[in-house]
Amino acid sequence: MSEYINNSSQRKELLKHMLLELHKGEAPEQVQERVKSLLKQIPYNEVVEVEQQLIAEGLPEEEILKFCDLHSAVLEGSLTGHDAVVPEGHPVDTFKKENREIAKVIEKIRTLLVRMEILKGMPEDKDFINALVIDLKREFNMLSDVDKHYKRKEYLLFPFLEKAGITGPPKVMWGKHDEIRELLSAVHEALVLGGEISGNDLYALGDLLIRPAIEQTESMIMKEEEILFPMCLETLKQKNWIQIYNETGIYGYCIFDPKAEWKPEPEEGEEREESGVSASVEYSTGGPVRLSSGSFDLKELEALFVTLPVDITYVDANDKVKFFSHSPNRVFERNRSIIGRDVRLCHPPGSVHIVEQILTDFKSGKENQAKFWLSNFMGRFVYIEYTALRGKEGEYLGVIEITQDISEFRKLEGDQRLLSYSKK
């Protein structure tokens, strides 16, 4: 049996078989024991390869999410994580230090859960309940900062993994991010009741939402430290890390505020990148761009897209992101890592079916436009319009996304015919 287990391809087949058994619900306790006894030293790369194989073979990502926590719990402690040393200020160093701060907040919430135990069956003590609610709000406000941590993974790390052919783990992890976000949002909504909540309701909230929220957040730390970060360190090149480092500020930091500046050494054959300049972007310095109705030189064209009062993203006929405008007040942040990325991978798993529907309808010619609006996106009324791009013969060339904050437009009344500059 040891010879069988030590063969990588056979070991992966065995692991895949066991995970499918867990998925089917076939004697989960017995299967878990078999996994523990047979696979006590599982290289992290084999776990993610199996996960990716299952997706490639047609198992829906939603189904993988259902047993993701289960097989993570089974494998936790058995995974052979890599203790690679990264320099201070490196993106992975920052991610790990953020995880330490996230873990501290989780421990504070656990302490509050212990205090909540006395609520069970005790007479209503409004002062005690209100104090608990205030403390819980404070800690969950802090914990909600993980959204920045997750966005940096989704929009900075995942694109480079996908370009290297690693698509399964990012999809599954993004799905788990969204589950955690939903739990944190639900806790916030429940705590808004404040003084109206009873002791029994607050106690029930602990089991219903608070514990699941912190347990899933804590589990994500394990997945990152044991699987994601080692995989990224092995897969990404130095120029990728430089680009990630330079674009991290777009999304901000989670609880932890790094003080050290990372000064990367170039890999052999690479030139040192100047601070703030992406290693993977080349700018054309050619002549004017001539169009059917006029021309721009490149400096003018760049200024035009930066200045337009709308955000533009272009996805080509092969569903790859080819361009985005980088105006200073974008509604949805973009970074250069998404260039060349499949547009489906730029969205949370829960909304990919909408993207698929739009692409299908546009390509078939059934539809040419799709409109959405968000009445309160971070205090702004946002209008989003997707339009099919077609050539002279009607051939499909891709999709253009136009996004605009129209909050001020909704306030307009009457006419303005006289010159009047808006006040800054």
Give the pairing of strands 396-405 and 294-296. unpaired
Please check the confidence at residue 303 and state whether its pLDDT lies above 80.
yes
H or E stretch at 79? none
Residue 273 falls inside a structural domain: no
Please check the confidence at residue 399 and state whether its pLDDT lies above 50.
yes
Structurally, the chain folds into a number of domains equal to 3
Condensed to tens digits (0 to 9), the pLDDT of residues 189-212 reads 998 876 678 888 888 899 999 999
What pTM did the predictor assign?
0.74
**What are 356-362's contacts with CB under 8 Å, separation 24+?**
358/386, 358/399, 359/319, 359/399, 362/386, 362/388, 362/396, 362/399
Residue 421 falls inside a structural domain: no
Burial of 154 (0-12, 13-18, 19+ CB in 10 A): buried
Please check the confidence at residue 275 and state whether its pLDDT lies above 80.
no
Distances (CA, A) of 195 to 72, 130, 136: 38, 6, 13
Residue 266 falls inside a structural domain: no
Least confident of 24-38, 337-351, 398-412: 24-38
Q: Are residues 103 and 165 in the same domain?
A: yes
Chain CA centroid to CA 10, Å: 33
Whole-number pLDDT of residue 44: 64
What's the length of the chain? Answer: 424
Residue 258 falls inside a structural domain: no
Residue 265 falls inside a structural domain: no
Q: Which domain holds residue 98?
A: 91-250
Q: Are residues 95 and 178 in the same domain?
A: yes
Which is more confident, 42 or 178?
Answer: 178
Domain boundary among 30, 51, 75: 75
Q: Tell me the sheet residues that pair with 137.
A: none
Q: Are residues 63 and 103 in the same domain?
A: no
∠ CA 93-96-97, rounded to 5°: 85
Cβ pair 83, 198 in contact under 8 A? no
Chain CA centroid to CA 242, Å: 19
Residue 281 falls inside a structural domain: no
Cβ pair 159, 338 in contact under 8 A? yes
Domain boundary among 49, 75, 101: 75
- Among 105, 48, 91, 90, which residue's Cα sits nearest to residue 71? 48
Residue 82 falls inside a structural domain: no
Q: Specify the residue for token string 């949002």.
A: 185
The CATH number of the domain where 124 resides is what?
1.20.120.520
Q: Are residues 101 and 64 in the same domain?
A: no
Q: Are residues 156 and 297 in the same domain?
A: no
Q: Are residues 132 and 193 in the same domain?
A: yes
Q: Are residues 206 and 302 in the same domain?
A: no
Q: What are phi and psi of 371, to 5 degrees?
A: -120, 140
Whole-number pLDDT of residue 270: 56
Q: What are phi and psi of 243, to 5 degrees?
A: -65, -45
Write the DSSP symbol of residue 318: T
The CATH number of the domain where 356 resides is what?
3.30.450.20
Distances (CA, A) of 203 to 49, 137, 189: 41, 15, 16
Q: Are residues 35 and 59 in the same domain?
A: yes
Whole-number pLDDT of residue 106: 97
Tokens of 225: 């430290």
Tokens of 330: 């974008």
Residue 112 falls inside a structural domain: yes
Write the DSSP symbol of residue 11: H
Domain boundary among 46, 75, 104: 75
Q: Are residues 243 and 122 in the same domain?
A: yes
Q: Are residues 371 and 306 in the same domain?
A: yes
Whole-number pLDDT of residue 67: 56
Q: Are residues 382 and 329 in the same domain?
A: yes
In which band, very low, low, confident or very high, does the pLDDT at 287 lie, cut at 50, 70 and 90? Answer: confident
Q: Residue 405, SS3?
A: strand
- What is d(CA 283, CA 351) in angstroms, rounded to the nearest whole number? 33
H or E stretch at 369? strand 369-377
Q: Are residues 301 and 401 in the same domain?
A: yes
Q: Residue 64, SS3?
A: helix
Condensed to tens digits (0 to 9), the pLDDT of residues 67-122 reads 566 556 655 655 555 566 889 999 999 999 999 999 999 999 999 999 988 877 67
